[in-house]
Amino acid sequence: MTNRTLYCKVPGAMNHSELLDELVSIKRRTHADLSAGAWRWLLVWAVISLGFVVMLAVPGFHGPARWYWTLAVPLGLGATMVADRWNTDSDSRVRRRDRPYWLTTAGMIVLTTGGGFILPGRWPLVWLWVVFAGGFAVLLGLEGERRLSQALWLLTATFAVLAAIAVDPWSTSMTFGGLLSLALVFAAKASHSRWLT
Amino acid sequence: MSHPTSDLDEVVHQRVRLGILAVLSEADLVEFTYLRDRLDVTDGNLNRHLQVLSEAGFVEIEKRSHGRSRTWVLATRAGRRALTEHLEVLQAIIDSTREPI
């Protein structure tokens, strides 16, 4: 009798432990195979983001920089689509669904474009970075990279707070004051109901 | 109090079927040949296990064509839940043997 048949016929803890280890190993290898094609869309959007940073660094380009994304986003989406097509046509036998990726990217475009038209002063630039960083955090989450996604969320939140303080300290303090008041109300409600029960 | 082994689902508690669900818990769509190679089983063996999981409502099997026809397998919500619950039971069994008498 081999170890493999022993796994499920004898309910011994050692065999269950080995079975769990094997399953974890299978999950890890599948995850690695899935991530093999992810570098393509990451590369496309990293180049586009880097292009924006380079553009900001060049004197006299601050005006056009505001419209950079209007051109870059459709180009980036086209390149991502080609990369995705390439991945599908190649011998990729393990895939994730495309729809969440497209919905996230479409959400990023709507939010950045909408914010550019609605927000005043220097807010569109802050909004743009926050939406893109948040969008990338979602995309990393979809890739199953939970730690990286959480780290990016933390960085995005830190950047958003610092940028908001720099752009408009009064509105930022009022917003955080409001959020803190709401949190206090919920905390009071929770503790009150606990006291009653 | 019943032993945790009584909570093990007979349909899921089989090495190949657990392997299939483990692969499908990471990916949304997996081709038949990928499962065969990853789990080191024959076509006939894999077919039989997929049929068992499909009849239990844990997986769906689709034929899709990207130039050539390929068979894709995907986990249903019930299949994902079954795997999660099964792993929890396995962990409980392991933990119960480590508890001091």
Q: Which residues of A touch B26 (CB under 8 A)?
A: 27, 30-31, 34, 144
CB contact (8 A) between residue A89 and residue B67: yes
pLDDT greater at residue B65 or residue A25: A25
Distance (Å, whole) CA A167 – CA A163? 6
Reading chain A (197 residues) residue by residue, the pLDDT tens digits are 444 443 444 444 457 888 888 999 999 998 888 877 667 777 787 787 777 777 767 776 666 666 776 677 778 777 777 776 666 555 578 887 777 877 887 888 788 777 777 877 777 778 878 888 888 888 888 877 788 889 999 999 888 888 888 888 888 888 888 888 888 888 887 777 666 55
Q: Which residues of B touch A16 (CB under 8 A)?
A: 90, 93-94
Element (H, E) at A61: none
Distance from the Cα of B95 to chain A's closest Cα (Å) equals 8
Model confidence pLDDT, tens digit, residues A115-146 = 777 877 777 778 878 888 888 888 888 877 78
Distance from the Cα of B59 to chain A's closest Cα (Å) equals 15
Q: Select from A145, A139, A46, A150 the least CA-distant residue to A98.
A: A139
8 Å CB contact between B28 and A97: yes
Q: Which residues of A touch B28 (CB under 8 A)?
A: 95-97
CB contact (8 A) between residue A93 and residue B30: yes
Element (H, E) at A122: none
Q: How distant is the alpha carbon of residue A66 from its chain centre?
A: 23
A142 interface with B at CB cutoff 8 Å: no
Which token pair is B20? 């299939």
Q: To the nearest 5 percent, what fractions of chain B are helix, strand and coil?
A: 60, 20, 25
Comparing alpha-carbon positions, the chain A residue that sits nearest to B28 is A96
Note the pLDDT of residue A92. 73
Q: Which amino acid is at A168?
A: D
Distance (Å, whole) CA A92 – CA A34? 9
Note the pLDDT of residue B25. 92
Least confident residue range of A77-86, B69-78, B81-90:
A77-86
Distance from the Cα of B85 to chain A's closest Cα (Å) equals 13
Q: What is the ipTM of this complex?
A: 0.84
Summarize the confidence of residues B73-85 as an average pLDDT.
93
Within 13 Å and on the Cβ side, how many CA atoms surround B13? 19
Note the pLDDT of residue B94. 83
Summarize the confidence of residues B76-87 as an average pLDDT.
92
Cβ contacts from A onto B, under 8 A: 74
pLDDT greater at residue B98 or residue B18: B18
Q: Which residues of A touch B94 (CB under 8 A)?
A: 13, 16-17, 20
What DSSP string runs through B46-66? HHHHHHHHHHTTSEEEEEEEE
Distance (Å, whole) CA B27 – CA A114? 34
Question: Quick check: pTM over 0.80?
Answer: no
Note the pLDDT of residue A12. 45
Q: Indicate which of B77, B89, B94 best probes the interface with A, i.e. most A CBs within 10 Å of its own CB.
A: B94
Element (H, E) at A92: none
Note the pLDDT of residue B31. 92
What percent of chain B clears pLDDT 70, i.e. is strictly above it?
86
Note the pLDDT of residue A76. 79
pLDDT greater at residue B50 or residue B10: B50
Note the pLDDT of residue B77. 93
Sheet containing B59-66, strands listed edge to edge, beginning at the edge strand earlier in sequence: A94-95, B29-31, B68-75, B59-66
Note the pLDDT of residue A3. 42
Note the pLDDT of residue A63. 62
Comparing alpha-carbon positions, the chain B residue that sits nearest to A4 is B15
Distance (Å, whole) CA A104 – CA B25? 21
Note the pLDDT of residue B59. 95
CB contact (8 A) between residue B87 and residue A20: yes
Note the pLDDT of residue B81. 93
Note the pLDDT of residue A62. 61
Residue B66's φ and ψ, nearest 5 degrees, are -120, 75
pLDDT greater at residue A79 or residue B83: B83
Note the pLDDT of residue A91. 57
